[in-house]
Structure 1
Amino acid sequence: MAKETEIEKKNLLTESEFLHLSEVFQINKNDFFWQANSYFDTVNDDIKKQGAALRVRKKKDTYELTLKQPAKEGLLETNQKLSEEEANQALSSSLFPDGEVKDELHSSLDIDSNALRLLGTLETYRGKTPFKEGLLFLDQSVYLDTQDFEIEIEGPTETAVQTWMNDILNKHGIPVRQTPNKIERFFLRKQEQKE
């Protein structure tokens, strides 16, 4: 179990921009790995209303429960490793194990884990490479009958990651696009499907 601050910037890409940057940063098809994020909230979207997000991530044969909350700079992540059995209980019955995430849900957000339900799953094919003092990711995400592409940069400060992102976008003629995070895009698509 761990808490960490995540400082990142994202920008949506077209498929051709995504393929171009994959070449530029020498991330080939075999370097991409699959992961799935399954999102949870209450019926009234109480987690979302507080600017937070709760997910179970499957990557290879590992599972992790993560609560992301707004922080002074970036996002505060509370992470908890899950066994396959614990992950399956969360995914099939919205039953979560005791631990730091459940405690944080209750103490910081005043949310009872028994009120949570599975919203759905977003699958991502992700490539990553070291970049300056951080990491650069290229993501192709598939969810709710749609797909999108993005670049994400993580680093030590908001100023650094913003500068690095601007430099890459300017150098490669890619426009700055309003880029909600993955769970927000998932929610937006879910809302579009309802309408």
Structure 2
Amino acid sequence: MAQQLEIEFKNLLSKEEYEALCTTFAIPNEDFHEQANHYFDTADFRLKKAHSGLRIREVQNRFECTLKEPAAGIGLLETTDLLTEEHVNAVLNGATLKADEVDIRLKKLQINPSDLQLLGTLFTKRAEIKYNGGLLVFDHSRYLDTDDYELEFEVTNEETGRIIFEEFLAKHSIPIRVADKKIARFMAAVNKKRG
């Protein structure tokens, strides 16, 4: 189990901006990896109401469950447990999630793991590069009938990170576009599809 503070800046990109950045930074295809994020909440969306999110991520034969909660001050508190592939497959087929440290945090939110339901899956093709003391993340995500492109900048200092990120966007003539979390974009697409 690990807990960490996540401080990141996000910006939605057009497909053309995304491709231009990948070309500018000469990111080879082999540097991209595929990941699947399976999102969960209760039937009455108690996690969403607590401004939190729960996912199981599959990436390169690694399976981890992460609960993201608002942190005091800036950023998000992430609590992560490693899971086995067998347990993930069982959970995706209706079994109750068992993730020791995440379960402790869920109980503090008064959420029983047996109440969690799979909302759906978002697939992302991702590359990461170090940049000015942070990590630039290039994401192309697919969910429902949607393709979106996003740039993230993960940092340890909010103030410095914001300045570097905004200067980066200006340097590459990319307008600042507010980017919700992936789970929020995914849920907006689900709600749109439901009508």
TM over 0.5: yes
Computed over aligned residues only, the root mean square deviation of the Cα atoms, in angstroms, reads 0.9
The unaligned stretches of length 5 or more in structure 1 are: none
**How many equivalent residue pairs?**
194
Partner of 2:106: 105
Q: Secondary structure at the match of 1:180?
A: coil
Q: Which moved more, 1:155-164 or 1:89-98?
A: 89-98
Q: Secondary structure at the match of 1:20?
A: helix
Partner of 2:186: 186
Partner of 2:115: 115
Partner of 2:79: 78
- Taking the aligned partners of 1:173 and 1:134, their CA distance within structure 2 comes to 20
The within-5 A match list for 1:62-77 is 62-71=62-71, 72-77=73-78
Partner of 2:93: 92
- Taking the aligned partners of 2:160 and 2:89, their CA distance within structure 1 comes to 39
Shift of 1:26: 2.2
- Taking the aligned partners of 1:163 and 1:53, their CA distance within structure 2 comes to 27
The residue type paired with residue 182 of structure 1 is K
Partner of 2:165: 165
The residue type paired with residue 85 of structure 2 is E
Contact kept in structure 1, 2:36 and 2:123, CA below 8 Å: yes
Contact kept in structure 1, 2:65 and 2:99, CA below 8 Å: no
The residue type paired with residue 99 of structure 1 is D
Partner of 2:137: 137
Percent identity of equivalent pairs: 41
Partner of 2:175: 175
The unaligned stretches of length 5 or more in structure 2 are: none
Partner of 2:11: 11
Give the TM-score, by structure 1 length: 0.97
The residue type paired with residue 84 of structure 1 is E
Partner of 1:35: 35
**Residue by residue, what CA displacement relative to the aligned partner does 1:79-127 show, whole Å, maximum 9, x if unpaired?**
00001111112211141114000111011x1101111100000000001
- Taking the aligned partners of 1:11 and 1:174, their CA distance within structure 2 comes to 9
